[in-house]
Structure formats: C-alpha cells, structure tokens
Amino acid sequence: MSSSPLDPVLTANFLRGNTAIIVLAILRDGPAHGYAIGSEIARRSEHTLEFKQGTLYPILHELERDGSICSEWEIPNGDRPRRVYTITESGQRELERRMEAWQRFNAAMIRVTAVRLDEQTG
Amino acid sequence: MNKLAEVIHSRSNPDLPGELLPPDAEIDRYLELFGAQLLGVVPFNQRYRLRNEAAFHLERLRDDLIAEGHDRREAVRRAIVAYGPAEQLAEQYIKSWFEKSAGGVLAKRLGKGNAIAFVAFALAELICVGLFYGRIFVPVESVFRYTVDPTVFPASTLNAVPIPDSSLFFAVLATVVLVAPILAGAWVGAKVPIHPMRAVYHGLLPCILYSFVSGVLVLPSRELLLFALVQLVYWLPVSLAVAHFARLHVRALRIGKELSA
C-alpha cells in the first residue's frame, strides 16, 4: 500500500533536522549503502516522505564526521564500488537520545493540536 | 546556471542531436556537472567518493525504473530528477562540508562563514575605531580614558575635529579606512567557499552599527558618524565585490594547482 506524498515544501520543513534520526534508524537494522537507505525510507514511509535522494549524502557524510556512523568501500565483482554505512555505538546512543526527544515532542504536538481540534468542534 | 556549469553543459552536448547520444550519456553529463561544482572547493578524495556514490545511486535508480517498464532514456531522465539538481546538491554538500568543520564556539554559534567574516571586520573595526579615538581624544588630553565601551565616553568634553586635516595621522587613518575593506573582503573570499558575500554582510553589519552608536555618543565630534556612513556606502559594496572575486580567484588557483599536480 502506498500513501500519496506530502506537499514537498511541508515535507522539507518537517524533515529539516530530523533526517539524521531517519537515517540512523534505518542503519540500526544493519549496514546499507545510500541507495538502499533511500529505498528503505520510501518503503517504510509508504512513499509519504519524498525528497531528492541526493540530499542523503551530505547527511551521511555529516553523520560520519560526527562519529555516529562509519563507512567503507564495498567492491562487488565487476560492479561499481559502493560505500556502505554502519551505525557506531555513539550513533546508537545519539539515536536513542534523539528518539526520546522526538517522542516527547510528538506527544506534546498531538496534545496541543488535539485541544485545538476539540475547541473547533466543541 | 553559472559559467562553469555552462561550459560543462556545452562541452558535454556535442553536435550530435540529443536523441542519438546513448541514454546513459545524460548520467555522465550530470556527474560532470556535479563534479565541476565541487572542483577547487572540496578535496579530490571527497569528490571521488561523492561522484562514485552519485553514479552508483543513479544507475540503481535507472535499473529499477527500467524494471518498472520505462525505456532506458526515460528511466535515466527520471533517475536524475529523483536524485536532485546537480548544482543544488553540490551547494548543499559544500555548505555542510564547510560549516560542519567549524571548530570554535563562535563558528558553531554563528556559522563558520559568518564567524570568519565577523572576525575579519571586527579586527578592521578595532583598528579604525582605535585610530579615530586617538584623533578625537588626544587633542582634549583624555586619551587615557580610551575604551571600546561606547557607554563610558566623556562626550561632553569633546570638540569637533576638522575633517579632513593635513596631518600624517589623518593620511594614515584615511589609508587604513580605504584599504581595510579590501583586505577583509579578500580574506573572507579566500576562506569562505560558499556564499562569501552573505558572510560579509552578516559580519560587517554589527560593525557599522557599533560605529554608528559610538558616533552618536562622541558628538559633537562627527568622526565616527562619518565612519559609519563610509562603512555603509564604501566598505559594504567594496568588501562584497572583493569577497566575490577573491573566492573565484582562489578557486581558480586551486583548480590550476590540482591540474598541474
């Protein structure tokens, strides 16, 4: 099943600052190259989160500089070399920290917007 | 599209009509355009890695789209659209690469480019304001009250100093005021590979504001108010232009160095 993509501007605004969580969450399940990460985001979000896939690489390189992930070349027989990313222990901790903050933020947003909905319908 | 991008675009579109080129030529063109934006800014090993990652990603996207039933040419076109515009992605990468290498607190708080510009112009401001203070305070023998804090100026004791005068001191002061934005702008252009003009604007504006506030506080001496005006009408445009050309020049030098290595 696939949902329709969100408005691209809204998606970009929502994703700003949160793409790192998404990438770390994908890598928590195992090493992957950039293309696999992009495909997995599309699959898990049921194509709701659509963004230019090239924007993943600045984020991956940033996370690597921060020490949250590491990477190495994988050279399959006769195929183009690809860079495979793996989450580090510090990345795991960073993901947990960000997830906790995100869950609290998300819960607060739901509470706040639910009150507004009640006011409008009540 | 900038000049470099236009050259790459024209060279990678030979006389053959587009439909006669192999479909994958569009991927090569895209990669050349992407690499050209990074040339002279990002080190070779980073460029190599990014180019390979982009090539692998585009080829996989293309293959998946072909498997979905698109013809090869259409699959390549869609893959490039899904990956994103080369210039925009290169700019985003340079920004992330440059800004995230920031070390100090100031650079992390303001952004590395803005911090570099602020340091350059604050230094120029300090030198110029120091010279102006000397010119204002020495004649009234209150030079020992010199301070960079504009709120403690003994403004009521000051008299207006003639502008210009024929002293050596004034000549030095005028030279410093004229040369400072050129040097500061060149430094920012050489050090900031992305949006150096924006960094100049952000770095210089607080200095202009400081000169203006200081100028009001040392009235009736008009020196610093005039200096604030000079900063607005001379420093700002000159340093913006110098930063822009310095960035292009430094990039061209790096490209030349890399080609000759």
pLDDT digits (tens, 9 = 90+) for B38-55: 998 888 888 999 999 999
Cis peptide before B237 (omega within 30 of 0): no
Distance CA B95, CA B111 (A): 10
Express each pLDDT in B177-219 by its tens digit. Answer: 999 999 999 999 999 998 999 999 999 999 999 999 988 887 7
- How do the domains of chain A map onto residue ranges? 8-114
Asked if residues B212 and B156 have their Cβ atoms less than 8 Å apart, the reply is no
Of A34, A58, A65, the CB nearest to B92: A58
Spell out the residues 6+ positions from residue A94 whose beta carbon is closer than 8 angstroms to its own.
A24, A66, A68
Nearest Cα of chain A lies from the Cα of B100 at a distance, in angstroms, of 7
> What is the band of B12 on the pLDDT scale with cuts at 50, 70, 90?
low
Whole-complex ipTM: 0.81
B178: tokens are: 């004229």
Express each pLDDT in B53-107 by its tens digit. Answer: 999 999 999 999 999 999 999 999 999 999 999 999 999 899 888 887 767 777 7
Nearest Cα of chain B lies from the Cα of A117 at a distance, in angstroms, of 36
CA-closest candidate to residue A75, choices A63, A83, A67 = A83
- 3-state SS, residue B164: coil
Q: Which DSSP state fits B241?
A: H
Classify residue A119 as exposed, middle or buried by CB count within 10 Å of its CB (0-12, 13-18, 19+): exposed
Contact: B54, A81; criterion CB under 8 Å: no
Asked if residues B169 and B134 have their Cβ atoms less than 8 Å apart, the reply is yes
Spell out the residues 6+ positions from residue B162 whose beta carbon is closer than 8 angstroms to its own.
none
Q: Check residue B120 and give its pLDDT.
A: 95
- If one compares A95 and B139, the residue with the highest pLDDT of the two is A95
Distance CA A104, CA A98 (A): 10
> What is the band of B158 on the pLDDT scale with cuts at 50, 70, 90?
low
Residues of B in contact with A62 (CB under 8 A): 96, 100
Contact: A62, B96; criterion CB under 8 Å: yes
Q: Given a cut of 60, is residue B145 above it in pLDDT?
A: no
Of A34, A38, A80, the CB nearest to B59: A80
Among B10-19, B86-95, B121-130, the least confident range: B10-19
Burial readout B211-244 (b: 16 or more C-beta within 10 A, e: otherwise): bbebbebbeebebbbebbebbeeebbebbbbbbb
CA-closest candidate to residue A70, choices A83, A88, A57 = A88
- How many C-beta atoms surround the C-beta of residue B99 within 10 A? 16
Tell me the average pLDDT across B10-39.
Answer: 77
Q: Which residue from A minimizes the CA distance to B87?
A: A54
Distance CA B242, CA A41 (A): 44
CA-closest candidate to residue B80, choices B57, B101, B111, B113 = B57
Confirm whether pTM is higher than 0.80. no
- 3-state SS, residue B14: coil
Q: Given a cut of 90, is residue B137 above it in pLDDT?
A: no
Q: Check residue B143 and give its pLDDT.
A: 47
Q: How many residues belong to chain A?
A: 122
Residues of B in contact with A82 (CB under 8 A): 52-53, 56
Q: Given a cut of 80, is residue B236 above it in pLDDT?
A: yes
Contact: A53, B61; criterion CB under 8 Å: yes
Residues of A in contact with B55 (CB under 8 A): 80
The CATH number of the structural domain formed by A8-114 is 1.10.10.10
Distance CA B242, CA B179 (A): 11
Residues of A in contact with B96 (CB under 8 A): 58-59, 61-62
Contact: B84, A80; criterion CB under 8 Å: no
All residue ranges of chain A with pLDDT < 70 are 1-6, 115-122
Cα angle for residues A55, A58, A62 (degrees, 5° grid): 145
What are A84's strand-pairing partners? A33, A72
Q: Which residue from A minimizes the CA distance to B34?
A: A54
Tell me the average pLDDT across B146-160.
Answer: 55
Could you write out the DSSP letters of every residue in chain A?
Answer: --PPPPPHHHHHHHHTTTHHHHHHHHHHTS-EEHHHHHHHHHHHTTT-S---GGGHHHHHHHHHHHTSEEEEEE--TTS--EEEEEE-HHHHHHHHHHHHHHHHHHHHHHHHHHHHHHHHH-
Place of tokens 């070779």: B44
Q: Check residue B4 and give its pLDDT.
A: 58
